[in-house]
């Protein structure tokens, strides 16, 4: 089984940017493309950034139990298609989900062995600047996102790791180290490697 890595944290902390940078440094990491009812932003491509769905299509996916988790976030649905994640993990590959905190908590319930990584902003002021600076949202949306973000920060205690996104390279280095270390955990080693240790003990 591969590792399921959940990268989450408050809105505007830079999850998307860090995840993209991490994927270019770790091409072996498999990214799960989410489904959403949000409209595409300029430059976003269906099937690459998201699977863009109508509300009806999204609700149908939920009905068919096709979502590993889903959440309603600032008026839109977001969710992780289940089959792709299950199949990729079963093939022994590591999968990364870049999702908001409600969905992350649902994944933690279903996959207690998931590696939960929380991305922190350097400060609240910096977080507000980032939410405002995105430039693609209305003032109402910015205010809603800031209020949500402050609530989201309180979920930090539910995570295994906290990584401050002060600088993208630093954050990527830390997450890469977390993934490498988690892959070396004794309890995750394949049986034939564990057997090597058992044989040496006896010898």
Let me know: does 67 contact 81? Beta carbons within 8 Å: yes
Interface residue with ligand 5GP among 58, 73, 118, 159 (CB under 6 A) is 73
User: From the CB of residue 78, how many other CB atoms can be counted at a distance below 10 Å?
Assistant: 22
Interface residue with ligand 5GP among 5, 99, 120, 127 (CB under 6 A) is 99
CA distance 177 to 56: 41
Which of 104, 43, 56 has the alpha carbon at shortest distance from 79? 104
Q: Which residue is nearest to ligand 5GP (CB)?
A: 103
Cβ proximity to ligand 5GP: between 15 and 130 the closer is 15
Letters for 117-146 (x = contact with ligand 5GP by CB under 6 A, - = none) are ------------------------------
Interacting span for ligand 5GP (CB under 6 A) from 68-76, 87-95, 110-118, 160-168: 68-76
Which of 5, 9, 26 has the alpha carbon at shortest distance from 163? 9
Crossing angle between the packed helical segments 139-153 and 124-133, to the nearest 10 degrees: 150
What is the nearest approach in angstroms of ligand 5GP to the Cβ of residue 44? 8
Residue 118's DSSP bridge partners are: 8, 162
Site residue total, ligand 5GP (CB under 6 A): 15
Cβ proximity to ligand 5GP: between 102 and 144 the closer is 102
Q: Strand, helix or coil at 129?
A: helix
Q: List interacting residues with ligand 5GP (CB under 6 A).
A: 11, 15, 34, 38, 69, 71, 73, 78-80, 98-100, 102-103
């Amino acid at each position: 089984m591969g590792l399921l890595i959940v990268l989450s944290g408050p809105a505007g902390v830079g999850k998307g940017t860090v995840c993209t940078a991490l994927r270019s440094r770790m091409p072996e990491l498999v990214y799960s493309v989410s489904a959403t009812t949000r409209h595409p932003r300029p430059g976003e491509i269906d099937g690459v950034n998201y699977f863009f769905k109508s509300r009806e299509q999204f609700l149908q996916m939920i009905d068919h139990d096709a979502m590993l988790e889903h959440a309603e976030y600032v008026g839109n649905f977001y969710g992780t298609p289940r089959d792709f994640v299950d199949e990729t993990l079963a093939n022994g590959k590591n999968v990364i989900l870049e999702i908001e905190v409600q969905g992350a908590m649902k994944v933690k319930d279903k996959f207690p062995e998931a590696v939960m990584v929380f991305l922190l902003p350097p400060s609240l002021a910096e977080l507000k600047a980032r939410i405002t600076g995105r430039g693609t949202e209305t003032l109402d949306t910015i205010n809603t996102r800031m209020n949500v973000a402050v609530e989201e920060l309180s979920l930090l205690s539910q995570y295994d790791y906290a990584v401050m996104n002060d600088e993208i390279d630093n954050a990527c280095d830390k997450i890469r180290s977390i993934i490498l270390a988690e892959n070396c955990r004794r309890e995750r080693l394949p049986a034939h490697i564990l057997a090597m240790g058992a044989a040496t003990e006896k010898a």
